[in-house]
């Protein structure tokens, strides 16, 4: 009788692992630094050892575990084969086969892209609870995205569904994005993007701002100054929000989800960012979808482990 599922989120810095019951309750949670040496060869053994440790501590037999759902920061093919995770030092890794070798008593192992799993987790037990479709944007150093429809991740024909960070929102951009294109949403609305946007807007204006006194600043500091009433900081956050709202309008014309969920560090800026996002979305979305809620994520850094467990359990 299956009563539990594991969700694992393998990041470039830390591995997070959660034991969930079938109702979505997080029963145990572990975190360990990602052992990236030797081309990431020790990562999956560390996951397997932690899974075994958690099962022992809770007195759970392998037969009671429905499976392990694992998120990785890179593209995952149909057969749970990971194709190059730069952040983990991995080349092509057959994650399913490898985990079956390490934990032969666990019935199911499945893998997904971390941003997709975060979306699935938020839909299951977070901000999208009760919805059957959602698009989630994770606004971190870059922008990850996940599209969930009918309770299932939409991977896309080439693994490109939900690549919302690379929506071309600014046709007049001169500087290339890390992907090689120009004018991607990620260049304005990620944590690094808003810093670059700020530098450009400071250089292109004579308006006073406390940002001018700072030799360097972070996304968090820009948002804090905007909340404090710094006019230029507010204009920067507003422009960032407008690009985001425009991007959401594109997603809406394509998949028209029940809800948009914003996660990642940038989403903690709150209404100073969300207000221009919502306004720009209302201006650019097609009328039938114009009231789609745009909300902040609820599960924070645990969204990925929730999504991993849900990937095993299914909708």
Token pair for 233: 């900081």
Task: Name the one range near a second copy by CB under 8 A: 33-41, 104-112, 173-181, 295-303.
Answer: 173-181
Contact 62, 106 (CB under 8 A): yes
Q: Tell me the backbone φ, ψ of residue 78, rounded to 5 degrees.
A: -65, -30
Site string for a second copy, 93-132 (x = CB under 8 A): ----------------------------------------
Counting contacts by CB under 8 A, is residue 235 touching a second copy? no
Site string for a second copy, 6-35 (x = CB under 8 A): ------------------------------
Residue 3 or 131: the one with the smaller Cβ distance to a second copy is 131
Which residues, in sequence order, are CB contacts of 174 under 8 Å at separation 6+?
182
Residue 56 or 172: the one with the smaller Cβ distance to a second copy is 172
Least distance between a second copy and beta carbon 22 (Å) = 26
Residue 125 or 133: the one with the smaller Cβ distance to a second copy is 133
Task: Name the one range near a second copy by CB under 8 A: 151-159, 218-226, 264-272, 307-315.
Answer: 151-159
- Pick from 222, 304, 215: nearest CA to 268: 222
Counting contacts by CB under 8 A, is residue 286 touching a second copy? yes
Size of the site for a second copy (CB under 8 A): 42
- Pick from 197, 195, 227, 225: nearest CA to 210: 225
Residue 66 or 135: the one with the smaller Cβ distance to a second copy is 135
Q: Which of 292, 297, 303, 305 binds a second copy (CB under 8 A)?
A: 292
Residue 26 or 154: the one with the smaller Cβ distance to a second copy is 154
Rounded CA Rg of the chain: 20
Tokens 């299951």 -> residue: 124
Per-residue DSSP letter, 177: P
Interior/surface letters 260-274, b for 16+ CB within 10 angstroms, e for the rest: bbbbbbbbbbeebbb
Query: 209 — alpha (psi -120 to 50), left (phi > 0) or beta?
Result: beta
Contact 127, 303 (CB under 8 A): no
Counting contacts by CB under 8 A, is residue 158 touching a second copy? yes
Counting contacts by CB under 8 A, is residue 283 touching a second copy? yes
Q: Which of 2, 36, 181, 268 binds a second copy (CB under 8 A)?
A: 181
Contact 6, 15 (CB under 8 A): no
In whole angstroms, what is the distance from residue 97 CA to residue 109 CA? 9
Site string for a second copy, 239-258 (x = CB under 8 A): -------x--xxxxxxxxxx
Counting contacts by CB under 8 A, is residue 171 touching a second copy? yes
Q: Which of 166, 234, 278, 310 binds a second copy (CB under 8 A)?
A: 166
Interior/surface letters 65-77, b for 16+ CB within 10 angstroms, e for the rest: bbbbbbbbbbbbe
In whole angstroms, what is the distance from residue 19 CA to residue 9 CA? 12
Q: Which of 33, 39, 160, 270 binds a second copy (CB under 8 A)?
A: 160
Binding residues for a second copy, rule: CB under 8 A, are 75, 133, 135, 147, 149, 154-164, 166-168, 171, 179-181, 246, 249-258, 283-284, 286-289, 291-292
């Amino acid at each position: 009788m299956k009563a539990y599922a594991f969700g694992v989120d393998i990041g470039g810095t830390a591995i997070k692992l959660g034991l969930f019951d079938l109702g979505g309750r997080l029963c145990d949670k572990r975190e360990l630094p990602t052992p990236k040496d030797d081309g990431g060869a020790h990562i999956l053994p560390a996951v397997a050892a932690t899974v075994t440790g958690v099962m022992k501590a809770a007195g759970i037999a392998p037969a009671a575990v429905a499976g392990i759902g694992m998120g990785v920061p890179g593209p995952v093919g149909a057969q749970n084969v990971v194709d190059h995770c730069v952040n983990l030092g991995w080349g092509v890794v057959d994650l399913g086969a490898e985990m079956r070798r390490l934990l032969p008593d666990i019935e199911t192992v499945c893998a997904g892209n971390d941003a997709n799993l975060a979306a699935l987790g938020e839909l299951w037990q977070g901000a999208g609870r009760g919805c059957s479709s959602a698009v989630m944007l994770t606004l971190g150093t870059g922008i990850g995205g996940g599209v969930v429809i009918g309770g299932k991740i939409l991977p896309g024909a080439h693994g490109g569904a939900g690549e919302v960070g690379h929506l071309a929102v600014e046709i007049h951009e001169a500087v290339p994005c890390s992907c090689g294109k120009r004018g991607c949403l990620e260049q304005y609305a990620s944590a690094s993007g808003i810093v670059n946007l700020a530098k450009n807007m400071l250089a292109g204006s004579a308006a006073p701002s406390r940002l001018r006194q700072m030799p360097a600043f972070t996304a968090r500091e820009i948002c804090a100054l905007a909340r404090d009433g710094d006019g230029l900081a507010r204009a920067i956050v507003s422009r960032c929000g407008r690009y985001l709202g425009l991007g959401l309008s594109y997603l809406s014309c394509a998949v028209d989800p029940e809800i948009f969920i914003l996660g990642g560090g940038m989403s903690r800026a709150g209404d100073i960012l969300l207000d221009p996002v919502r306004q720009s979305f209302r201006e650019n979305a097609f009328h039938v979808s114009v009231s789609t809620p745009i909300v902040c994520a609820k599960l924070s850094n645990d969204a990925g482990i929730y999504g991993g467990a849900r990937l095993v359990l299914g909708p």
